[in-house]
Amino acid sequence: MDVHKQPHPDLPPPATSVGVVGWLRKNLFSSPLNTVLTFVALYLIYITLVPAFQWAFINADWVGDSREACDSGGACWVFVAVRFDQFMYGFYPEAEYWRINLAFGLLIALMVPLFMEKFPRKGMLIAFNLIVYPVIAYYLFSGGAFGLAHVETSRWGGLTLTLILAGVGIVAALPIGIVLALGRRSSMPIVRAVSVVFIEFWRGVPLITVLFMSSVMLPLFLPEGTHFDKLLRAMIGIVMFQSAYMAEVVRGGLQAIPKGQYEAAQALGLSYWKTMGLIILPQALKLVIPGIVNTFIALFKDTTLVLIIGLFDLLATIQSAFSDPNWLGFSIEGYVFAAAVFWVFCFSMSRYSQALERKLHTGHAR
């Protein structure tokens, strides 16, 4: 008797279950219900995306310098093109635009080495970015020294102002938040009480009331004739508010570190600050990257609230532009442009945080 020693080789899978056809069958047409849903979804995409695409691209007007150029029935991007400089720089004097460009260019040039793997002396560069750069940027934006003309903060606006508010908020809120989180977990009663009160107070009020207080009520308490810059007031409000949120995010990370880590650090004879700086915080912060970036993205979008106190961030600049009698009725184009700009920034932040998580992934993910 002939006995097969070897198992029969596997038959190839049926042609309908592999490749494109297989993927379609498995994901889109696996049952009558799914088939119906697929067609409904395709129809919805067809009736929404096609007109939107036609409006935004095919029927759109791109060149010109007045509303007369917009006659093809689609989007009037001429409006955005004519006002582009204003949307970017606000009411900053045109001759001084280079100062804003230089400040942001310099920031990018200083940040790029930080993302390179093998750049030497990163610590020095970080210190430079955090301590020296803000001073340079301040003088570039504000002027009044080194032969640069003074530009009042009331003329700052557009995307520049949005980035300044968000940048200051992010850079200042993280360290203050870390200190508050440590303070809240401290064993010293006064430090703990102060931290708890601060965090709970600022988390308990909406940002919009903070901004209102800073712009409407605060001037009444100040002596007449003393003016505390409105932008600075708003900035302080935003930093206070965001650092309270940041503190809670960081505290979440601190609580996730097993007690053994603290005990091991103590057993090695490390001081409190060394324990925190070398053992606890590096692990805790890594755990809460998604939460931190989430707060940053929320902060970036929250900066648009300053428009209710008459500061002209990107959104407010766009809104004021369509109150120009010559450009009435192009609000949709303006809002679409604003949404696109915000999306680009928020999506980049989100992608960067995901990349950072992957890079720092050293086996803690469960």
Partner 1 sequence: MNSAAGDMDAFVQPHFLKNLILTSTRGNNRTMKKIVLATSALAFCAAVSTTAFAGATLDAVKKKGFLQCGVTTGLPGFSSPDDKGNWTGLDVDTCRAVAAAVFGDAQKVKFTPLTAKERFTALQSGEIDILSRNTTWTLTRDSSLGLNFAGVNYYDGQGFLVSKNLGVKSALELDGASFCIQAGTTTELNLADYFRANKMAYTPITFDTSDETSKAFDAGRCDALTSDQSQLYALRIKLKNPDGAMVLPEVISKEPLGPVVRQGDDEWFNIVRWTLFAMLNAEEYGVTSENVDKMAASSKDPNILRLLGQSGIKGQGLQLSDTWAASIIKQVGNYGEMFERNVGQGSALKISRGLNALWSKGGIQYGPPVR
Q: Which residues bind partner 1 (CB under 8 A)?
A: 82-83, 86, 90-91, 94, 152, 154, 212, 215-217, 219-227, 307-310, 312, 316, 319-326, 328-329
For residue 148, the minimal CB distance to partner 1 (Å) is 19
For residue 67, the minimal CB distance to partner 1 (Å) is 8
For residue 274, the minimal CB distance to partner 1 (Å) is 45
For residue 201, the minimal CB distance to partner 1 (Å) is 19
Q: Which CB atom, from 86 or from 353, has the smaller least distance to partner 1?
A: 86
Residues in the chain: 366
Q: Which CB atom, from 312 or from 342, has the smaller least distance to partner 1?
A: 312
Q: Which CB atom, from 142 or from 319, has the smaller least distance to partner 1?
A: 319
For residue 82, the minimal CB distance to partner 1 (Å) is 5
If we measure between CA atoms, which residue out of 169, 101, 162 comes closest to residue 137?
101
For residue 169, the minimal CB distance to partner 1 (Å) is 21
For residue 149, the minimal CB distance to partner 1 (Å) is 15
With a CB cutoff of 8 Å and minimum separation 6, the contacts of 100 are 89, 92, 140, 141, 160
Q: Which CB atom, from 6 or from 326, has the smaller least distance to partner 1?
A: 326
Q: Which CB atom, from 29 or from 322, has the smaller least distance to partner 1?
A: 322
Q: Which CB atom, from 207 or from 287, has the smaller least distance to partner 1?
A: 207
Distance CA 181, CA 89 (A): 36
Q: Which CB atom, from 24 or from 217, has the smaller least distance to partner 1?
A: 217
Distance CA 264, CA 116 (A): 33
